[in-house]
Structure 1
C-alpha cells in the first residue's frame, strides 16, 4: 500500500526529473485521478486524454508542490480536476461558437477503475456532503464536479460573487475536516 509519505517522496523526486518516481506516482494515483476526470467530463475517451494531460502538468509542476501537512492527493486531485474543468469550459465555448460534437459519442458507462474508486469513497463523501447546507452542497457539486464558474453560481443562487467564494471555501474546509476523520 502506498502511503502519503510515499506519494510526497515520489512528487519530490519527480520535481527533480526522476522518471522512475513519476512512473511510480502514476501507478499509485492514476486510477483515482482517472475517476476525477471521468466524473467531471462524463466521457471515457476525454477522461483518458485529460488524465494524460494532467500528468504532463504534474510532471512540469511537481516542484510547486509543498509538503504542508495536507494529503498530497489533494494537490494531485486539484491539478487534475482543474484541468478537466478547463476542458469542460473549452467544450462549452466550442458549442457556444456553433461547432458540433455530434461525431463524438460519449461512453457513459464507467470502467472498472472508476467503479472501484467510486465505490471506495462515495459513501463517505455523500455523508460529509449531507452535513452541509443544501445550497452550499449544491454549489460545491456545481463548481467542482460540473465546472460552473463562481459567476454562474452567484447568478444561480442569486447571491454576491464573494458570498459564493466564501461558501465554497468554508464548505471545502468542512468537507476536508469530515473526510479526514477515520470513517
Structure 2
C-alpha cells in the first residue's frame, strides 16, 4: 500500500479533539461501506500508522504489509468502533500495533537483528569492516540455528535493550517462557562459539 502524505485531512481539524471527531465521522461512514471515507481516512492517518509499524517491525517493507493488513481490518470492523472506549486514533493504532506484533510472531527473523548488524558493519572501515562483516555473518548463522522464540528474545534483549517484561509484551509470551528462551538460547550460543578441543593423536592421557 503506498504511503500518502497527510495533506488533505480536513482543513478545520486543527486540534486533536477536532481531528478525532473527523476520524470518528469517517469511521462511521466506513461502517456503511463508504469507499470515499475509507480513502480519506487512509490519506489522513496512514503516515503516522506507518511510522508506528516501522518502530515495531524495523523495516519499511514489513511496515507497509502491516499497515495494509491494518486498514483491511479497519474496513472490516469499522462498525464495531466504540467512541466511548477509545479515540479513533487509539483504536486504529491498536489495530496496527497488533498486526505488527502478529507479523513478528509469524516471521522469526522479521528484521529484529539484521538492521543492527548492518549498522555495525557500516560504522567500521578497512580491515575492521571486513572483520565486522565476518562476525555479523557468523553471528547471523548462529542465531539462525536457534528456535524462533530464542532468536527473537535474545535479539530484543541484546540488540534493542528490552527488559524481559518488555520482551514478553512484544512477543505475547509469559515472562517465564521468555527467561527460558534467553537462558537456553545463550547456552546454545556458547556451545556453538566455544572452540572444541581436539584430542592429540593417541587420545587424551
* Alignment TM class, shorter chain as reference: 0.5 to 0.7
Pick 1 or 2: higher relative contact order, CA cutoff 8 A, min separation 6: 1
Instruction: Report how many aligned residue pairs link the two structures.
Output: 119
CA distance in 2, matches of 1:47, 1:59: 18
Uncovered stretches (5+) of structure 1, i.e. residues with no partner: 96-100, 110-136, 159-183
Over the residues paired in the alignment, what is the CA RMSD in angstroms?
Answer: 3.1
State which structure, 1 or 2, has the greater radius of gyration over its C-alpha atoms: 2
3-state DSSP class of the match of 2:22?
helix
3-state DSSP class of the match of 1:21?
helix
Alpha-carbon distance, 1:70 to partner:
3.1
Moved over 3 A (4+): 137-144, 154-158
1:127-138 correspondence to structure 2 within 5 Å? 138=163
CA distance in 2, matches of 1:34, 1:141: 22
> In structure 2, do the counterparts of structure 1 residues 65 and 87 end up closer, same or farther at CA, with 3 Å as the change threshold?
same
Name the residue aligned to 1:13.
29
Alpha-carbon distance, 1:73 to partner:
0.8
CA distance in 2, matches of 1:38, 1:21: 25
1:32-181 correspondence to structure 2 within 5 Å? 32-68=48-84, 70-92=86-108, 138=163, 141-142=166-167, 147-151=170-174, 153-156=175-178
CA distance in 2, matches of 1:140, 1:61: 30
